[in-house]
């Protein structure tokens, strides 16, 4: 029989302060988040020192809000689950120290959760997904392909050898003076030209299940230089007023990344024909165009396709509470020497 747990999940691995409550049978009771996007916007990426300072300011109100929205107090919580790896050390430490303090003070269990495992199972918060299945996670910090055999039992089939897919969107957006984060802006611009592939950027050889996006970023950069749109010497975009160019680059980039995902998943399906479904998670899974492409691929292979709703794609506390919950079911509690990794 399933034991009943109320789990408070805390996520502070990067530039979001997030918390959520998950309860056996009832599922997610609350999910709150404070995003630092505005804080890092002018820098074109996350500034670690600013991120950890903001985490310290927001952790208390965000956790309190998660408890309030779930209509519970800390006394009702059985387990505090917290992201302890991987991430920015300063940011991770804020969540971990906070989680340990409240758990110790209130005599609760503590469970450390791998942020990537959070993304991997995030589609299961809202959907019943058969095992084994293939899971592609793509965000600003990671891009990996997994075979998910059960809760807590998965195999990494491939990962990025350099940049993450979201990082490619962010860095190329930055080249064109587009705001951070790049993914949503690039999707919007690409949509305006109906996702046409103008420049046919390189897709790579694709013989393994690993990813590589830094070559793509360089290819786009050199193509912009060739088009007299980028000054390498002064690191300046020269065609700020050229909306047509920005749209064509965005659209070509998006189609290229969707092609790469499709190609890797096709290869993975050949190697792992036992897969019963495909899931797609992480911040990049907010992208409707890529989701539609992967949905078609799954349909072609007679497989169901799942992606979490938006709030569970980008970093969130719900996925941490969810993983914490199944670890609690298995009795996988941590000791007070739990540390960041």
121 is a site residue for ligand KG4 (CB under 6 A): no
Given ligand KG4, Zn ion, none, residue 163, with its beta carbon under 5 to 8 Å by kind, binds none
Dig out the tokens for 329 from the structure. Answer: 């079911």
163 is a site residue for ligand KG4 (CB under 6 A): no
From 9, 95, 118, 141, residue interacting with ligand KG4 (rule: CB under 6 A): 141
Which among 53-61, 263-271, 289-297, 312-320 is the span making contact with Zn ion, rule CB under 5 A?
312-320
Cα separation, 270 vs 3, whole angstroms? 39
Beta strand pairing call for 133-138 and 143-150: antiparallel
Given ligand KG4, Zn ion, none, residue 140, with its beta carbon under 5 to 8 Å by kind, binds ligand KG4
183 is a site residue for ligand KG4 (CB under 6 A): yes
337 CB-near residues (< 8 Å, 6+ apart): none
Which residue is listed with tokens 């269990």? 109
Which among 69-77, 103-111, 125-133, 276-284 is the span making contact with ligand KG4, rule CB under 6 A?
276-284
Contact predicate 203/260, CB 8 Å: yes
From 315, 317, 324, 328, residue interacting with Zn ion (rule: CB under 5 A): 315
Beta strand pairing call for 153-159 and 143-150: antiparallel
59 CB-near residues (< 8 Å, 6+ apart): 10, 12, 17, 94, 95, 98
317 is a site residue for ligand KG4 (CB under 6 A): no
Cα separation, 48 vs 298, whole angstroms? 38
111 CB-near residues (< 8 Å, 6+ apart): 7, 79, 80, 81, 82, 324, 327, 328, 332, 333, 334
15 is a site residue for Zn ion (CB under 5 A): no
Which among 87-95, 125-133, 308-316, 321-329 is the span making contact with Zn ion, rule CB under 5 A?
308-316
Which among 78-86, 163-171, 195-203, 258-266 is the span making contact with ligand KG4, rule CB under 6 A?
163-171
187 is a site residue for ligand KG4 (CB under 6 A): yes
122 is a site residue for Zn ion (CB under 5 A): no
From 23, 210, 287, 307, residue interacting with ligand KG4 (rule: CB under 6 A): 287
Contact predicate 122/281, CB 8 Å: yes
Residues numbered 29 to 88 that lie near ligand KG4 (CB under 6 A) are: none
Report, in Å, the least distance between residue 115 CB and Zn ion. Answer: 6
My answer on whether omega of the bond before 207 falls inside 30° of 0, hence cis, is: no
Q: How many CB atoms lie within 10 A of CB 23?
A: 19
Given Zn ion, ligand KG4, none, residue 118, with its beta carbon under 5 to 8 Å by kind, binds none
Report, in Å, the least distance between residue 320 CB and Zn ion. Answer: 10
Q: Give the start-end residues of each E strand in the chain.
A: 6-11, 16-23, 27-35, 79-85, 109-114, 133-138, 143-150, 153-159, 230-231, 236-237, 278-281, 305-306
From 44, 112, 132, 182, residue interacting with ligand KG4 (rule: CB under 6 A): 182
Footprint on this chain of Zn ion (rule: CB under 5 A): 139, 315
Footprint on this chain of ligand KG4 (rule: CB under 6 A): 14, 139-141, 166, 169-170, 181-184, 187, 282-284, 286-287, 314-315
């Amino acid at each position: 029989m399933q034991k009943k747990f109320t789990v408070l999940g805390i996520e502070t691995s990067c530039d979001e302060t997030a918390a959520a409550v998950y309860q056996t049978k009832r599922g997610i009771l609350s999910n709150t988040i404070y995003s630092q996007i505005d804080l890092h916007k002018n820098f074109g990426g996350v500034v670690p020192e600013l991120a950890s300072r903001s985490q310290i300011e927001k952790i208390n109100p965000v956790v309190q809000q998660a408890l309030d929205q779930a209509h519970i107090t800390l006394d009702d919580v059985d387990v505090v689950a917290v992201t302890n790896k991987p991430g920015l050390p300063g940011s991770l430490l804020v969540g971990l120290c906070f989680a340990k303090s409240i758990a110790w003070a209130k005599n609760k269990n503590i469970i450390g959760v791998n942020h990537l495992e959070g993304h991997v199972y995030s589609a299961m918060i809202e959907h019943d997904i058969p095992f084994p299945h293939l899971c592609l996670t793509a965000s600003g910090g990671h891009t990996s392909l997994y075979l998910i055999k059960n809760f807590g039992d998965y195999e990494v089939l491939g990962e990025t050898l350099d940049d993450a897919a979201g990082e490619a969107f962010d860095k190329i957006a930055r080249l064109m003076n587009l705001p951070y984060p790049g993914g949503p802006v690039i999707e919007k611009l690409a949509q305006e030209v109906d996702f046409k592939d103008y420049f046919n950027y390189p897709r790579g050889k694709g013989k393994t299940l690993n990813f590589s996006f830094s070559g793509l970023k360089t290819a786009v950069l050199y193509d912009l230089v060739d088009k007299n749109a980028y000054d390498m010497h002064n690191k300046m975009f020269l065609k700020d007023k050229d909306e047509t160019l920005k749209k064509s680059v965005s659209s070509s980039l998006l189609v290229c990344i969707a092609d790469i995902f499709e190609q890797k998943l096709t290869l993975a399906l050949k190697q792992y024909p036992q897969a019963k479904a495909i899931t797609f998670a992480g911040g990049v899974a907010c992208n409707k165009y890529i989701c539609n492409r992967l949905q078609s691929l799954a349909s072609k292979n007679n497989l169901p396709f799942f992606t979490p709703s938006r709030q569970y794609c980008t970093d969130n506390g719900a996925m941490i509470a969810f993983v914490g919950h199944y670890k609690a079911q298995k009795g996988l509690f941590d000791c007070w020497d739990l540390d960041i990794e």
